[in-house]
Structure 1
């Protein structure tokens, strides 16, 4: 049986094509910077200094990628970022999860205003505490990756508040049913809350993981040895001064760095979507 197609009116057809054109223009505007970075990574010389809209095929080369892995410390920076990012993500998720569970389910003095106090304290810019953290870590001879890890492992009040809202959406009937069966608070937390919170935990882990890749201020203050640098510091080193930048190597580094980040997002996109949508609505 043939389907009957509804014929669009002239103004509906015009509106449809107008919306399509706007969408394609926006997509091209978003994709053009990405295309420029990828294209410049395969160009000889300072590709961004060339007055061309499209890359020159005669300048195509893999030298930037070869130099990135043989003439710079990029592999060390990538390893440091992946290691510290994974560790910080796990530690922050652990601290955030236990604190959020306590604020959501347990009863203790200061529970009502505790998270508000944390959020007020963390409204201050991180630059305010930078000098104190740097002074303490240098005094303890911890101006290294371990010291950076210690300064980054704490959970943020925003993450605790976000995960608390997610745990609040989990029906308390599950807790009560588990306690009727003989479970204590720890077993309820381990067997019910943690498995049901996996989507939101994935969101928090990815935020923490990617935060390490974009961290520059704290890492620049603490990590002076180039072998201890993280990705943001390493990418900044390709710009020697305000007038000289190795655009080819910098673009190649950006492209290579995007692969693990994009891969993790693609693998966890279902968990991220579920965590963000469920955490936004209290059941």
Structure 2
């Protein structure tokens, strides 16, 4: 009855419901709020130091005052003369190309595991996931030896090709979403004469757009900031990604440019923020898909 009054009378009864909470429910709500506030402060504190250092006139990462005494935009001006734009373009290109390629591989492979019956279907994806559990750092020496032998080091396209192969987790994620799509839709399309390709393009993918957005954005985050494999394959400054280029800003022999590094860190978040803004409506539906079923 309380729920009906809340639905019919809106905010007034919502406020009354908050006042009429039982004591232990009210205490639990405050405990949750305090925990969230603590997590928020702990999460934002390092970011505040980065913002402060980016406006500081010194190269120190932290100072006695969180607000710089002599704030300046010199770090943001100098960051564009350090090769930042080239690094950002390389990272954005790698993230977009690899994420798009993995989206193509993921959507088709997940359809095969979800809808087709073939030898090795039951354990094939599990084997891929087991192989993905081993970190890339374990294969760095072998990758370097092979690429050096074939003269393929310091090539951005080869770096992208190496990254495209790691899509087992995305296939597993997409397969789980395909499994929630009723098989009756496939059967209805098959009655109309549609094959597997037409079913995938006209039935499955339009319904899977939220999960496609999730897979694309998560892949983009991972490959935009990838460092270990990039440090192995890429060698010339013109091919550096953001991870490699920004590492050189604080790895100089005589000084560590923390102010310049902080400004570059904040600017490097812009492409991901733009992508999140465009994909957020679809991602919200994709991440909650399957939470309520029936």
CA distance in 2, matches of 1:282, 1:97: 23
Within the candidate set 166, 180, 191, 1:169 is matched to 180
Stretch moving more, 37-46 or 221-230? 37-46
How far 1:135 moved relative to its partner?
2.1
Give yes or no for the alignment of 1:50 onto 2:60.
no
Aligned to 1:127: 137
Cα distance change on mapping 1:25 and 1:155 into 2, 3 Å: closer
Aligned to 1:78: 88
Q: Does structure 1 conserve the Cα–Cα contact (< 8 Å) formed by 2:49 and 2:62?
A: no
Look up the SS of the partner of 2:215 in the other structure.
Answer: helix
Cα distance change on mapping 1:165 and 1:281 into 2, 3 Å: farther
1:70-109 Cα distance to aligned partner (Å, 9 max, x none): 2x01100000011111000000111111111111111111
Q: Does structure 2 conserve the Cα–Cα contact (< 8 Å) formed by 1:89 and 1:208?
A: yes
Aligned to 2:41: 28
Cα distance change on mapping 1:45 and 1:51 into 2, 3 Å: same
How far 1:157 moved relative to its partner?
1.8
Within a 5 Å distance, the mapping from 1:106-185 to structure 2 comes to 106-143=116-153, 144-185=155-196
Look up the SS of the partner of 1:48 in the other structure.
Answer: coil
How far 1:24 moved relative to its partner?
3.4
How far 1:275 moved relative to its partner?
1.4
How far 1:32 moved relative to its partner?
2.1
| Structure 2 residues not aligned, in runs of 5+ | 1-8
Aligned to 1:234: 245
| Structure 1 residues not aligned, in runs of 5+ | none
Pairwise CA RMSD: 2.6
CA distance in 1, matches of 2:245, 2:137: 21
Aligned to 1:96: 106
Look up the SS of the partner of 1:240 in the other structure.
Answer: coil
1:188-237 Cα distance to aligned partner (Å, 9 max, x none): 01111111111111111112211122211100000000110111111111
Look up the SS of the partner of 2:193 in the other structure.
Answer: coil
Give yes or no for the alignment of 1:266 onto 2:283.
no
Within the candidate set 181, 193, 196, 2:207 is matched to 196
Within a 5 Å distance, the mapping from 1:214-233 to structure 2 comes to 214-233=225-244
How far 1:160 moved relative to its partner?
1.1
CA distance in 2, matches of 1:277, 1:25: 26
Q: Does structure 2 conserve the Cα–Cα contact (< 8 Å) formed by 1:39 and 1:55?
A: yes
CA distance in 1, matches of 2:116, 2:252: 54
CA distance in 2, matches of 1:12, 1:280: 28
Stretch moving more, 18-27 or 192-201? 18-27
Cα distance change on mapping 1:26 and 1:107 into 2, 3 Å: closer
Aligned to 2:5: none
Stretch moving more, 214-223 or 199-208? 199-208
Cα distance change on mapping 1:278 and 1:46 into 2, 3 Å: same
Aligned to 1:41: 54
Deviating beyond 6 angstroms after TM superposition, the runs of 4 or more aligned structure 1 residues are: 280-283
